[in-house]
Amino acid sequence: MKEAWLFAAQRLSALVMAPLVLLHLGVILYAVRGGLSADEILARTEGSLFWGAVYGLFVLAAAVHAPIGLRAVLREWCRWRGAGLDIAMTLFGLVLLVLGLRAMAAVL
Amino acid sequence: MAMLEVEIWRGSGADGAWQRYAVPHEANQTVLDVVTHVQRYLDPSLAYRFACRVGMCGSRAMTVNGRPRWTCRADCPQAARKGRLRIGPLRNLPVIRDLAVDMAPFFEKWRDAEARFVPSADPPDEAVRPDEPERMAADAGIECINCAVCYAACDSVAWNPDYPGPAVLNRLWTLVNDRRDGDRDGHLDAAGAGCHLCRSHQECADACPTGLNPTAAIAGLKRETLRRTLGRLAPGRGR
Amino acid sequence: MRRGPWWAFLLHRLSGVALAVFLPFHFLVLGLAVERAALDGVLRWTDNPWVKLAEAGLVVLLALHLTGGLRVLLLEFGRWSDRQQSRIALAGGLALLAGFGFLAAAFA
């Protein structure tokens, strides 16, 4: 049952992120021209409801997606299983969430 | 007479070594013919398993030059590389001796998933048409001969001790699509416990001697079990 | 011995692991934006051509994981197609294109 939920969360977060990653790649290619600067980045993001919503959703989906994927790799290639792995991956997800929201707060 | 250079795995359990034999090459020779020649004329102590010799019983699968194959229908010129054949036991199953593996884990997973037809208490009144989509989906996977070639080809089986394997899941998908079956939900629950561990390498479809595509069947199970999982979120739907 | 779908799986898994490892650092750097000078300090470092090359690698990894992920979603939830090899080639090709696009933009 738990595995079925993790599978659903993994695929749904992927579905959410697909258009966001495409947008992100577009912004990267656009922003990198002429070099990056803090002013340029912050001019785009500061006070923007749109970028706040985009990055908020992005951080949330990534914090769900990455630990589930990493968990599968560790189970299959490192033979790490059981509660210890699940706790470690939950913590990894929380770290991503906190760092991601912190980064968001810094640029908004 | 042209000779084939044959290496065969000899040993019991985890211990063993490759042993060389020279076998005369003949027209229309199968890999099973080569193994039989070795056992009859060169080394009667060689252990291997076969029954029908014509691709029906599924009892004589082996690893031929690194790939799992059904040896009775594997032509030597096709399977041999530069006149060399290396024949070993199937992967992912415990070796009993030489080329004979213990098939019990393969069938135990089949049993545990209850991957068998459950007659419906309330069968459909109208006839099941051969061209309806569900029946066609079931028919696509029905010709499995339980040879465990897909099980040996699958990395997910090697990586996850609790993964049921392509054959069991393929069977569950035929049952899910069978309108006469009375336990669709039970089959989906059984599939839901492991089908997401399939990584779509498609090694099973590649290796299947009867040309089935378990990866496509498992994709169907992933789709239906996901629908069922999400159905639990909506009140009044799913169980 | 391995065929296309297996290599596609391997690339998807390795790119996923690499992105999961990179993500916390990405967030940490963006978190510096509370102080523009600190963020600019890191961004000056990225002007180095070798760093730009490494960033292009990250762009390829992200694009690879996106196109590979879309391939998996299509394979699992779309209608089965026997043209798996062409899909793999398309996914890989688009990802490489994104990398070249980044290089073109970064060095323009």
CB pair distance less than 8 Å for B225 and A76: no
**pLDDT tens by residue, B28-77:** 889 999 999 999 999 999 999 988 888 888 888 999 999 999 888 877 76
In this prediction the pTM is 0.91
**pLDDT tens by residue, B168-213:** 999 999 999 999 999 999 999 999 889 999 999 999 999 999 999 9
Where do the domains of chain B lie, and which CATH numbers do they carry?
3-101 (3.10.20.30), 104-233 (1.10.1060.10)
Q: Model ipTM?
A: 0.92
Nearest CB partner across the interface for C17, out of A35, A39, A73: A73
CB pair distance less than 8 Å for A7 and B193: no
Residue of C nearest to A39 (CA): C36
Residue of B nearest to A8 (CA): B226
CB pair distance less than 8 Å for A77 and B194: no
What whole-number distance in Å separates Cα of residue C5 and Cα of residue C92? 12
Residue type, B63: T
Chain C interface, Cβ < 8 Å to B: 1, 3, 5-6, 9, 72, 75-77, 80, 84
Smallest CA–CA separation between C103 and chain A, in Å? Answer: 9
> Token pair of B44, please?
């009667």
What whole-number distance in Å separates Cα of residue B42 and Cα of residue B37? 7
> Token pair of B105, please?
């884990």
**pLDDT tens by residue, A20-40:** 999 999 999 999 988 888 888
> Token pair of C5, please?
């779908």
What whole-number distance in Å separates Cα of residue A8 and Cα of residue B234? 14
Nearest CB partner across the interface for A32, out of C36, C65, C105: C105
